[in-house]
Structure 1
């Protein structure tokens, strides 16, 4: 695959991922205080089966592009450290987001399990999207540094 084609496809997959993540948040129900629990099932779970393959394809294309361009091969150690700091920050924000969501609804939905119509956004959100991309970039920066040494 040519680099230009990979860039176009990855840009489309990036936009599609963001749109599907938005749809997951739209189809995730909110548990309002004083209201009953919804019996409508989990419409957001259908979007998981769309999001996960698109996301894996995007990550694979990012890895392909970085290897093709050899972006990290001649860079300093600054980039992996910067990416690691960004990963730590985004991971902390994801933890706070998931913990606040879990604590706000846990007592009312104990019998539903972890994945239900109220917790879709705990697993598929912009934080986890960013974490996956940052992990791919960090791993590729390390791999390219190790290849350069040998």
Structure 2
């Protein structure tokens, strides 16, 4: 087994643990939203969160089925989720898609737990997306080297 193949296997093997952490972070953040109460979440944020949960379930399923599309899904869902949570929770209130923790009113029930779950989710989303990108890059390099060796 060549070095390139070992490298690819190592990255591929990292996708499952990243998917588990990603799934746990999504669940933990969802638990915080349930704790806070669904009545305090803006409708656009709630819809986006439901879409994100559905895409997370699909992506994690692809990972554990060993689908060739899993790293693509991880890259897109992970990085889009990280960006979405960042703009929704870590920026001051800015519009209909904002559930800001920065200047949240007391009725929003934002606590230290909300902050921790949001930050953990953003980190887990980012890592999941970056592992997906690393796998795609590793596969592209392997194909390029294989093509050069075949020529």
TM-score between both structures, scaled by the size of structure 2: 0.38
Q: TM-score scaled by structure 1?
A: 0.38
